[in-house]
Structure 1
Amino acid sequence: MTNNSRSPENQGNTSLYRAVWRWHFYAGLLILPFMILMAVTGAAYIYRDEIDDWYHADLKFVEASGNAVLPISSQIDAALLPVPGTPVKVLPPADPTRSTEIVIAADAGGRQAVYIDPYRGDVLGHMPDRTTLMWVVRRIHSLAEFGTIPNYVIEIASGWAILLVLTGTYLWWPRGDQKGGVVTLRDTPKRRRWWRDAHAVTGIFIGIFIIFMAATGMFWSVFWGKYANEFANGTPNGYPSGVRVDVPLSTIPMIEAFGETSWTNENIPLPQSVDGGIGQTANPGPIGIDRAMSIFNEMGLTPGYAISLPRGETGVYSASIYPDDLSLQRVIHLDQYSGRPLIDMGYDDYGPFGKIMEFGINVHLGQEFGIANQILLLVICALIIFMSVSAGVMWWKRRPVGALGVPPMPRDTRNLTVVTAILAIGGIIYPMVGASMIVIWLLDYLFVVRPQRKMRAARA
Structure 2
Amino acid sequence: MSVPFQGPAPAAARAEVRPSLREAVYRAVWRWHFYAGLICLPFLILLAVTGALYLFKPEIDATAFAHRTIVTPAGTPLGPDRLVYNAMQAVPDGVPVSYTEPGSPTASALVTMNVGAEKTLVFLDPYRGHVLDAMPAAQEFSGVVRRLHSLTLFGSVANRVVEIVAGFAVILVVTGTYLWWPRGQRGGVVTLRETPRRRVWWRDLHAVTGLFAGAGLLFLALTGLPWSGWWGQELRAWSNAAGLGQPRQLWADRPVSGVPMRAVLNEPGWTMQDAPVPRSQPQAAPAIGLDRAAAILRDMGMPAGFELALPLGETGVYAVAAYPRDVTAQRMVSLDQYTGRPLVDVHFGDIGPVGQAIQLGIGLHKGEFLGRANQLAMLAFCLATILLSVTAGVMWWKRRPSGRLGVPPLPRDRRVMAGVTGLVLGLGALFPLTGLAILALIGLDLGARALLRPRPLRPAGQTS
Question: Is this a same-fold pair by TM over 0.5?
Answer: yes
Provide the residue aligned with 2:4 in structure 1.
Answer: none
SS in structure 2 at match of 1:153: helix
What is the rounded CA distance, in whole Å, between the counterparts of 2:358 and 2:384 in structure 1?
A: 25
Amino acid at match of 2:207: A
CA, structure 1 residues 69+407, in 2 after alignment: closer, same or farther (shift >3 Å)? Answer: same
Instruction: Give 1:454's aligned residue.
Output: 454
Report the CA distance shift for 1:203/1:249 in structure 2 as closer, same or farther (over 3 A). Answer: same
Q: 1:111 maps to which residue? A: 119
- Counting matched residue pairs gives 441
Amino acid paired to 2:81: S
Structure 1 residues 458, 408: closer, same or farther in 2, change over 3 A? Answer: farther
The match for 2:169 is 161
Partner of 1:192: 199
> Comparing 199-208 with 128-137, which one deviates more in the overlay?
128-137
Corresponding residue number in structure 2 for 1:35 = 44
Q: CA deviation at 1:306?
A: 0.7
- 2:373 maps to a residue whose letter is A
Aligned to 1:144: 152
RMSD: 1.9
Q: Find out whether 1:172 has 2:219 as its counterpart.
A: no
Matched, 1:79 2:87: yes
Q: Secondary structure at the match of 1:81?
A: helix
Residue type matched to 2:30 in 1?
W
1:393-442 alpha-carbon deviations (Å, 9 max, x no partner): 11111111111111111111111111111111222111110110011111
| Counterpart position of 1:412 | 413
Offset, 1:12: 9.6
Provide the rounded CA distance (Å) in 1 between the counterparts of 2:121 and 2:452.
60
Tell me how far apart the structure 1 counterparts of residues 133 and 362 of structure 2 sit (CA, whole Å).
Answer: 32
Corresponding residue for residue 34 of structure 2: 25
In 2: Cα distance, 1:459 partner to 1:33 partner: 45
| In 2, Cα distance between equivalents of 1:12 and 1:31 | 28
Aligned to 2:293: 292
Tell me, in whole angstroms, the C-alpha distance in 1 between the residues paired with 2:103 and 2:209: 41
Structure 1 residue identity aligned to 2:257: S
Q: What corresponds to 2:140 in structure 1? A: 132
Q: How does 1:209-248 map to 2 (within 5 A)?
A: 209-240=216-247, 243-248=250-255
Separation in 2, partners of 1:34, 1:100: 35
For residues 38 and 134 of structure 2, the distance between their equivalents in structure 1, rounded to whole angstroms, comes to 43
The range that moved more, 291-300 or 248-257, is: 248-257
Q: Which digits, 9 at most, give the CA deviation of each residue in 1:106-137, with x for residues without a partner?
A: 3x552211122222222222111353211111
| Structure 2: distance between partners of 1:214 and 1:195 | 24
User: Is 2:129 the partner of 1:121?
Assistant: yes
Tell me the SS of whatever aligns to 2:277. Answer: strand
State how far apart, in whole Å, the 2-side matches of 1:39 and 1:186 are: 27
Superposed CA offset, 1:232-252 (max 9, x none)? 111220113563432111121
The answer as to whether partners of 2:332 and 2:347 remain within 8 angstroms in 1 is yes
1:366 corresponds to 2:367: yes
Residue 453 of structure 1 aligns with an amino acid whose one-letter code is R
d(CA) in 2 for partners of 1:27, 1:288: 55
Q: Could you tell me how far apart the structure 2 residues matched to 1:125 and 1:44 are?
A: 22
Q: Structure 1 residue 97: deviation in Å?
A: 1.9
Q: Aligned partner of 2:177: which letter?
A: T
TM-fit CA distance, 1:203: 0.6
1:369-408 equivalent positions in 2, closer than 5 A? 369-408=370-409
| C-alpha separation in 2, matches of 1:239 and 1:382 | 35
CA–CA separation in structure 2 for the residues paired with 1:187 and 1:89? 60
Whether the aligned pair in 1 keeps the contact of 2:333 and 2:346 (CA below 8 Å) is yes
TM-score normalised by the chain length of structure 1: 0.92
Deviates more, 1:10-19 or 1:314-323: 10-19
Distance 1:57 1:46 in 2: 17
Equivalent position amino acid for 1:77 in 2: Y
Residue 318 of structure 1: SS of its match in structure 2?
strand
Between the aligned residues of both structures, percent identity stands at: 45
Instruction: Report the Cα offset of residue 184 of structure 1.
Output: 1.3
Contact map agreement 1:243 1:268 (CA 8 A) in 2: no
**Distance between the aligned counterparts of 1:397 and 1:13, measured in 2?**
25
Contact kept? 2:260, 2:273, Cα under 8 Å: yes
Specify every segment of 5 or more residues in structure 1 that has no aligned partner in the other structure, as ranges.
1-5
Compare CA radii of gyration and give the structure with the larger one.
Answer: 2
| C-alpha displacement of 1:61 | 2.1
> What is the rounded CA distance, in whole Å, between the counterparts of 1:417 and 1:459 in structure 2?
31
Instruction: Give the Å deviation of 1:451.
Output: 3.2
Q: Distance in 1 between matches of 2:121 and 2:95?
A: 12
C-alpha separation between the residues in 2 aligned to 1:217 and 1:404? 31
Bigger shift: residues 298-307 or 250-259: 250-259
Asked whether the equivalents of residues 89 and 102 of structure 1 are also in contact (C-alpha less than 8 Å), the reply is yes
Kept in 1, the 8 Å contact 2:267–2:321? The answer is no
Structure-2 residue corresponding to 1:208: 215
One-letter amino acid of the counterpart of residue 17, structure 1: Y
Please list the CA deviations of residues 313-339 of structure 1 after superposition, one character each: whole Å capped at 9, or x if unmatched: 111001111111122111111011111
Pairing 1:312–2:319 present? no
Q: Is the 8 A contact 1:158 1:214 kept in 2?
A: yes
Partner residue in 2 for 1:3: none
Tell me how far apart the structure 1 counterparts of residues 39 and 187 of structure 2 sit (CA, whole Å). Answer: 28
Alignment match, 1:48: 57
Distance change in 2, residues 1:61/1:418 (3 Å): same
Please report the TM-score for the alignment, with normalisation by the length of structure 2: 0.91
1:52–1:132 CA contact under 8 A, matched in 2: no
Compare 313-322 and 260-269 and name the one that shifted more.
260-269
Superposition deviation, residue 13 in structure 1: 7.5
Say whether 1:14 aligns with 2:56.
Answer: no
